[in-house]
Chain A
Amino acid sequence: MRSSDHNGTVLAKSIEEPVEISSVGTTARPGPLTANLIRSIGIIGAVSILPLVMPINIATEILIFGIFAMAANLLIGTAGLYSFGQAAFFGTGGYAAGYLLAHGWTSLPLALVVACGSGGLIAAAVGILSIRRLGIYFMMLTFAFNQLVYYIVYSWRSVTGGEDGLAGIRRPVLELPFVGSFSFDDNRSFYALASVLFLATMIVLVRMVNSPFGLVLAASRQNSRRTVSLGYPVPMLQLVAFVIAGAISGVAGALFAMLYRIMPIDSVHWTGSAYVVFMVVIGGQRNMLGPVIGAAVFIWLQGLFSLVWTRWPLLLGVFVIVIMASLPNGLVGFVSKLSSWTVKGRGQRQC
């Protein structure tokens, strides 16, 4: 009597196969206070040191793609939704904010709210139409919508600049009452802005993954039918996660537009969607640090390989394959496995 099973669950299962450890769990669960403190100091320290060891724009790019990859990991690692259309939301946010900033608007909060809102809105539209499809069908649908958005951007020259990209973007200004106004024309102050948004995103997402919302989302990844039978509206939860990820991707896109003062058409191409999935896979899905490490390694390697060889994507591809084949839990999963060999015993959870 298994005829009642959804035909798609089998596919979804096989895709999830390599993920062995939940993204909900060990790392992010508030354990001893000191461990959390050390972790936070470590991350803040790393963010402060980053621009000292590499060109500052590369460091900024790592933070921007870190934000983008963390948002993608809410879908991949926590919800088990393999979206191959995230670049559409990154691009939407970038173009929307970029358009305002290229046409005389200067307010930072406005640019961010518009990026967030437009990314989330397009994600809601795509999500409503694709969230009930399972496994490979979901992937293909998100991919197709990404292509759709790409061609809209490509053909709507008057607004988007078509294949030349949207140029003439000016960095916004933050006006604070009583304090004065901050400009981000200087790359160091722009890096500071990116770090604040990066850390805020990380805090929000880590908390979200360990909230009832995140735990139920992780439950529906592991067994969606069971989660429904416990009384949860799984498709609605997944849709909300999809919209949240889209909104955050929109913010990342806006920062990217501000960084180089141009929104290139490539940023909304489906390859961007594939890259962010690679970042998550390289770094590891079990916590929010994984995708950030993945983004850093990916961007660093991209730079390195492109200096070595003009056909650098080939090298990058080989690297991704090697990581996927040898480290199913990504770099972060590998490191914590190493440390669990040296430090015996697991932390107790308290829920």
Chain B
Amino acid sequence: MTPELSPAIAASVPQQNGQPQSRGAALRQNLQRSLRRLTHNPMTVAGLIVVAMLLLVALFAPWIATHDPLAQDLNNTLKAPDAAHWFGTDEYGRDVFSRLVHGSRITLYVISLVTVIVGPVGLAVGTISGYFGGKVDTVFMRITDIFISFPSLVLALAFVAALGPGLDHAVMAIALTAWPPIARLARAETLQLRKADFVVAVQLQGASSTRIIVRHIVPMCLSSVVIRLTMNMAGIILTAAGLGFLGLGALPPMPEWGAMISTGRRYMLECWWLVAMPGVAIMLVSLAFNLLGDGLRDVLDPRSE
């Protein structure tokens, strides 16, 4: 059937040459193509590298850290960065570098837990409400509106104040305020998709609503949700750090980055490294997630295809 293709089109579709022979091959080809486009943009690559480094550091934290992050050394408090303590020490003589390294685990824990809760919840609420419309939509969207109308940090504060401070409570508080935008996004996508011919086609084949949502609508919403979640990660890191800073997130002596800034601020004028090091870490990681999100949008957004 190749004669159907005009030569101009044929030339611009290189994957036509290597025809996939199985489902796996087709999927692999698709992934390879996406990856090529992802690595096309240097900013995205930078984001990707920082995120990969975060993952590696978190994974190998005990081997990378030069000291025990909790071990106090009261003879060596507030030391400026030197060969023994690369990023200096804090008011209890703990090694800031090691605390940062171990802190990456906490950051990652918060991000992944929030994402794992927020992604599916937002996706489910959004697609169901968009697909069925009518009363279902009204009820779901009013609930979403209620959550959206609270400033996220205030809601998190109230939540943590009620349940008591702690990392898990902070995660729950953040998740509680982070799902509505995802649901809105998924709903908006679904509203367009449910009128699309390919959805009508499966409806006419007798597919159930569950099947249509799960197999046909969710995969189409997934890319924009993933993009949004990646972008959100920056916000999550900042909120988690903010809660830590206010003493409502991770409890001492956990090396959480926000909490480190919070305790370091008392010595900020003399010992810049106590605030600067975790501050730079937070900034770098959230920036990286933003860049990565931007790059993912270029690759995954169906509109850009």
Bind each other = no
Chain A residues in contact with chain B, CB under 8 A? none
